[in-house]
């Protein structure tokens, strides 16, 4: 039983590093042709060189401007053809308690996450419908099940994205298009390191102590590697997952306590 993505074309956001790059690599290994989308061309081109297979592309766009992202991707699709797989993945916002957040912080993250996701779905949807095959996978957070302390803005917007995705799943299923969310737990990325370092500074302790405290909350006793999250993404993108739609899939080592 294989993922069998030969002939499929994927767009992976935030794919120059971390979970985004790992997802792009997993899809490419399964046979898909991947377009990597992020802000830094140099990093994207270096990432592309590491992918299996050939024919992969890079697109540069700033997620602060959903309209520009839409136009960049629309031009690429017009030239290169429709996409069958969309992985929505964007860097999370800075930490902090929700009561202290400025309104502009919510608006900025809403644009970078929900509005960009929505613009990309609208851009790629005609091609998915025509192909009778679509996989929309949103990389969010376990906070949609259990809000995470000191990530107030993130908790709020991630929840909005999850509800948006669930609504889409009900609307698009009849067209052979599934919409699912992957919820990473503690994953070894630059963002996790930055969050731990900021918390250590705020508490007057060390990053190592913050990491140890976090690790103790995970039943498996360790943090995830980006490739482990990517494996779930690649499965949901494949024909094998054709009857999985509208779910939130935690990849968190059992840390989430809710069902």
pLDDT in the model for residue 91: 85
Residues 89 and 176 in one domain: yes
With pLDDT > 90 as the criterion, what percentage of the chain qualifies?
Answer: 92
pLDDT at 150: 87
Domain presence at residue 1 = no
Residues 179, 192 within the same domain: no
Residues 39 and 97: their CA atoms lie apart, in Å, by: 28
Q: Are residues 59 and 158 in the same domain?
A: yes
Q: Identify whether residues 34 and 140 lie together within a single domain.
A: yes
Q: Alpha-carbon Rg of the chain, whole angstroms?
A: 18
Q: What is the mean pLDDT of residues 179-207?
A: 93
**107: containing domain:** 9-185+226-250
Mean pLDDT over the full length of the chain:
96
**Burial track 191-210 (b if 16+ CB lie within 10 A, e otherwise):** ebeebbebbbeeeeeebeeb
Whether residue 212 sits in one domain with residue 93? no
| 259 located within any domain | no
Mean pLDDT of 49-53: 98
Q: Is residue 153 part of a domain?
A: yes
Residues 118 and 194 in one domain: no
Amino acid 1: pLDDT = 67
Same-domain check for residues 110 and 217: no
**Residue 94's pLDDT is what?**
81
pLDDT (mean) for 80-88 = 97
Q: How many domains does the chain have?
A: 2
pTM for the full predicted model: 0.96
Q: How far does Cα 167 stand from its chain's mean position?
A: 18
**Percent of the chain at pLDDT exceeding 70:** 100
Task: Mark whether 161 and 193 lie in a shared domain.
Answer: no
Residues 133 and 201 in one domain: no
pLDDT score for 92: 82
Question: What's the rounded Cα separation, in Å, for the pair 256 and 21?
Answer: 25
In a domain, 79, yes or no: yes
pLDDT at res. 36: 98
> In terms of domains, do 209 and 120 share one?
no
């Amino acid at each position: 039983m294989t993922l069998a993505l030969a002939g499929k074309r994927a767009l992976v956001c935030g794919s120059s590093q971390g979970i985004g790059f790992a997802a792009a690599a997993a899809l490419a290994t399964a046979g898909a042709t991947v377009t990597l989308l992020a802000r830094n061309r140099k990093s994207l081109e270096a990432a592309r060189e590491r992918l299996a297979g050939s024919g992969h592309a890079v697109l540069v766009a700033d997620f602060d401007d959903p309209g520009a992202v839409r136009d960049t991707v629309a031009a690429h699709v017009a030239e290169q053809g429709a996409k069958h797989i969309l992985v929505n993945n964007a860097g999370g916002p800075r930490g902090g308690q929700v009561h202290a957040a400025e309104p502009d912080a919510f608006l900025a993250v809403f644009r970078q996450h929900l509005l960009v996701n929505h613009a990309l779905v609208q851009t790629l949807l005609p091609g998915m419908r025509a192909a009778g095959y679509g996989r929309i996978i949103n990389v969010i957070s376990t906070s949609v099940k259990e809000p995470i302390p000191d990530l107030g803005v993130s908790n709020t917007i991630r929840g909005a994205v999850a509800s948006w995705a669930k609504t889409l799943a009900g609307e698009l299923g009849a067209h052979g298009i599934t919409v699912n969310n992957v919820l990473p737990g503690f994953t070894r990325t630059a963002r996790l390191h930055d969050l731990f370092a900021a918390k250590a500074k705020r508490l007057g302790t060390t990053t190592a102590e913050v990491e140890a405290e976090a690790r103790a909350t995970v039943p498996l006793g360790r943090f995830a590697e980006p490739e482990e999250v990517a494996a779930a993404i690649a499965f949901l993108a494949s024909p094998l997952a054709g009857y999985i739609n509208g779910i939130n899939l935690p990849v968190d080592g059992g840390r989430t306590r809710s069902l």
